[in-house]
Protein backbone atom coordinates (compact mmCIF):
# COMPACT_ATOMS: atom_id res chain seq x y z
CA UNK A 1 0.00 0.00 0.00
CA UNK A 2 2.66 2.50 0.98
CA UNK A 3 4.57 1.49 -2.11
CA UNK A 4 1.51 2.29 -4.22
CA UNK A 5 1.26 5.74 -2.62
CA UNK A 6 4.94 6.36 -3.27
CA UNK A 7 4.48 5.51 -6.92
CA UNK A 8 1.32 7.59 -7.10
CA UNK A 9 3.08 10.64 -5.68
CA UNK A 10 6.00 10.16 -8.05
CA UNK A 11 3.64 9.95 -11.02
CA UNK A 12 1.72 13.03 -9.89
CA UNK A 13 4.93 15.01 -9.49
CA UNK A 14 5.98 14.12 -13.00
CA UNK A 15 2.61 14.62 -14.67
CA UNK A 16 1.10 17.63 -12.93
CA UNK A 17 3.79 20.24 -13.72
CA UNK A 18 3.85 19.37 -17.46
CA UNK A 19 0.05 19.53 -17.51
CA UNK A 20 0.12 22.98 -15.93
CA UNK A 21 2.71 24.26 -18.38
CA UNK A 22 0.72 23.04 -21.37
CA UNK A 23 -2.45 24.69 -20.05
CA UNK A 24 -0.66 28.02 -19.60
CA UNK A 25 0.86 27.87 -23.09
CA UNK A 26 -2.39 26.95 -24.78
CA UNK A 27 -4.08 29.46 -27.05
CA UNK A 28 -7.59 30.63 -26.35
CA UNK A 29 -8.38 31.14 -30.02
CA UNK A 30 -8.51 28.07 -32.24
CA UNK A 31 -6.25 27.85 -35.25
CA UNK A 32 -9.35 28.33 -37.40
CA UNK A 33 -9.73 31.91 -36.12
CA UNK A 34 -7.02 32.83 -38.62
CA UNK A 35 -8.11 32.32 -42.22
CA UNK A 36 -6.15 32.51 -45.44
CA UNK A 37 -7.99 33.36 -48.65
CA UNK A 38 -6.43 33.85 -52.02
CA UNK A 39 -7.67 34.83 -55.44
CA UNK A 40 -5.92 35.14 -58.78
CA UNK A 41 -5.32 38.77 -59.72
CA UNK A 42 -5.59 37.93 -63.41
CA UNK A 43 -2.05 39.18 -64.00
CA UNK A 44 0.96 37.05 -64.60
CA UNK A 45 4.61 37.68 -63.83
CA UNK A 46 7.30 35.83 -65.81
CA UNK A 47 4.51 33.56 -67.12
CA UNK A 48 3.42 32.61 -63.57
CA UNK A 49 -0.05 33.53 -62.32
CA UNK A 50 -0.21 36.22 -59.66
CA UNK A 51 -2.26 35.65 -56.50
CA UNK A 52 -3.59 37.99 -53.86
CA UNK A 53 -3.50 36.45 -50.40
CA UNK A 54 -5.57 37.79 -47.54
CA UNK A 55 -4.84 36.53 -44.03
CA UNK A 56 -7.50 37.64 -41.56
CA UNK A 57 -7.66 37.16 -37.82
CA UNK A 58 -10.92 36.82 -35.96
CA UNK A 59 -9.14 36.05 -32.73
CA UNK A 60 -10.16 38.61 -30.07
CA UNK A 61 -6.59 38.45 -28.77
CA UNK A 62 -3.64 39.82 -30.68
CA UNK A 63 -1.96 37.26 -32.91
CA UNK A 64 1.84 37.03 -32.77
CA UNK A 65 4.40 34.78 -34.43
CA UNK A 66 2.00 33.46 -37.04
CA UNK A 67 3.34 30.60 -39.13
CA UNK A 68 1.74 28.94 -42.14
CA UNK A 69 2.13 25.67 -43.90
CA UNK A 70 3.19 26.56 -47.44
CA UNK A 71 4.38 23.52 -49.34
CA UNK A 72 6.52 24.35 -52.39
CA UNK A 73 7.02 27.95 -51.27
CA UNK A 74 10.65 29.02 -51.51
CA UNK A 75 12.47 32.19 -50.55
CA UNK A 76 12.96 32.73 -54.30
CA UNK A 77 9.27 33.59 -54.64
CA UNK A 78 8.87 37.33 -54.31
CA UNK A 79 6.15 38.49 -51.94
CA UNK A 80 4.76 42.00 -52.09
CA UNK A 81 4.97 43.56 -49.55
CA UNK A 82 7.70 41.25 -48.17
CA UNK A 83 5.76 39.88 -45.18
CA UNK A 84 6.69 36.21 -45.58
CA UNK A 85 9.93 34.44 -44.78
CA UNK A 86 10.72 30.75 -44.75
CA UNK A 87 12.03 29.14 -41.57
CA UNK A 88 14.35 26.15 -41.26
CA UNK A 89 11.42 23.73 -41.36
CA UNK A 90 10.17 25.17 -44.64
CA UNK A 91 7.23 26.89 -42.94
CA UNK A 92 6.20 30.42 -43.80
CA UNK A 93 6.61 33.00 -41.04
CA UNK A 94 4.36 36.04 -41.29
CA UNK A 95 6.39 39.14 -40.48
CA UNK A 96 4.33 42.25 -40.07
CA UNK A 97 5.48 45.51 -38.56
CA UNK A 98 2.62 45.40 -36.08
CA UNK A 99 0.98 42.47 -34.33
CA UNK A 100 -2.24 41.27 -35.94
CA UNK A 101 -5.23 42.59 -34.00
CA UNK A 102 -8.76 41.26 -34.12
CA UNK A 103 -10.23 41.96 -37.56
CA UNK A 104 -6.88 42.89 -39.10
CA UNK A 105 -5.88 41.51 -42.47
CA UNK A 106 -2.45 40.89 -43.88
CA UNK A 107 -2.60 41.16 -47.65
CA UNK A 108 0.18 40.34 -50.10
CA UNK A 109 0.69 39.14 -53.64
CA UNK A 110 3.03 36.57 -55.14
CA UNK A 111 3.50 35.07 -58.58
CA UNK A 112 4.00 31.31 -58.76
CA UNK A 113 2.01 28.14 -59.12
CA UNK A 114 -0.65 28.32 -56.42
CA UNK A 115 0.79 27.78 -52.93
CA UNK A 116 -1.56 26.14 -50.46
CA UNK A 117 -1.12 28.45 -47.46
CA UNK A 118 -2.65 27.13 -44.24
CA UNK A 119 -2.34 28.43 -40.67
CA UNK A 120 0.05 26.27 -38.63
CA UNK A 121 0.63 28.08 -35.35
CA UNK A 122 0.53 31.41 -33.57
CA UNK A 123 0.92 32.93 -30.15
CA UNK A 124 -1.60 35.21 -28.51
CA UNK A 125 -1.43 38.35 -26.46
CA UNK A 126 -4.72 38.80 -24.62
CA UNK A 127 -5.46 41.91 -22.59
Sketch the per residue contact string, 5 through 44, with ligand NAG: x for CB under 6 A, - otherwise.
----------------------------------------
**Measured distance CA(121)–CA(124) in Å, rounded:** 10
75 binds ligand NAG (CB under 6 A): no
54 binds ligand NAG (CB under 6 A): yes
Residue of 77, 86, 93, 107 interacting with ligand NAG (CB under 6 A): 107
Judge contact between 107 and 57, C-beta under 8 A.
no
Q: Closest distance between ligand NAG and the C-beta of residue 57, in Å?
A: 10
42 - beta bridge partners? none
**Measured distance CA(100)–CA(108) in Å, rounded:** 14
105 binds ligand NAG (CB under 6 A): yes
49 - beta bridge partners? 44
Residues in the chain: 127
Name the residues that contact ligand NAG, by CB under 6 A. Answer: 54, 56, 105, 107
Amino acid sequence: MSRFICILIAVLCVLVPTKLVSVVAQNICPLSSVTVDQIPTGRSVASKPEWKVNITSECFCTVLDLTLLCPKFTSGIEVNPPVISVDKDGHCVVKTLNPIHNGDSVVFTYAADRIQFQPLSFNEACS
